Structure 1
């Protein structure tokens, strides 16, 4: 089934929050402490994420894109100014798809569209933090990312190890 990629609007915030929370449950169950996962994917978390996405989609410093299939948002991606990646121009904040939408080219299309938009805004490099156990880590590496360090964060019930991935030349992702 075909899909479209388009810029997100504040009206998309509920759908983005749904994909965000649902994809976390689908991807991270068994990969992070369950108590922590339950807390970041419950109803209150979905409401917080909806408010966050309302703000992010209205923020001119960020790029938020959605992928729709049959008029329904099934994947999304966002990027903006880097938070903790010295020497990098932009950060990939999110790239999530519902499990039923994975393997259909949406992730690649979203990443390419983000790279084009960031490059058009003058950014030349991109980085992200990915959970070390995340199966998409290899997917990012196949898209030309390189590993460039890691960090460990303490969360209720355990620790999360994340790996920084970097694209030194955004033009290669377009």
Structure 2
């Protein structure tokens, strides 16, 4: 397993839509393992493949609380089938937008279809932190960032800050 470098805002790769995965094989499972190791190292609770520069529709999540055993989950070609009318608000952050957090409102419950690590189709009803995390990571697969769900003014300030930081590192 290898820790991969994270793609950071304003890198345009983060705005790419990811392509569906055609088959689950050993190479894809190794990518899932690398993604989990990268996510845990960061540390974070979710990571989409595009965040390590791989434009494939796969994400990993572990929403286990501190002190609990790890509960890694792999979602291949995830698709939201249903979203609740009920909404919930969580303070979100992102490994690709380090040290920035904002409250985001999303559906409180989602029903998701995906392939698991073994390529078997699964359907899950998710609520709470898992629902928020799944929606956040699926947004990544569609080239959407959590800052797209906040006010335009705040979003522009964040993008400007990260663009300035990236330029100063490039010099």
TM-score higher than 0.5 here? no
- The two structures have a TM-score, normalised by structure 2, of 0.29
- The two structures have a TM-score, normalised by structure 1, of 0.29
Whichever structure has more helix as a proportion of its residues is: 1
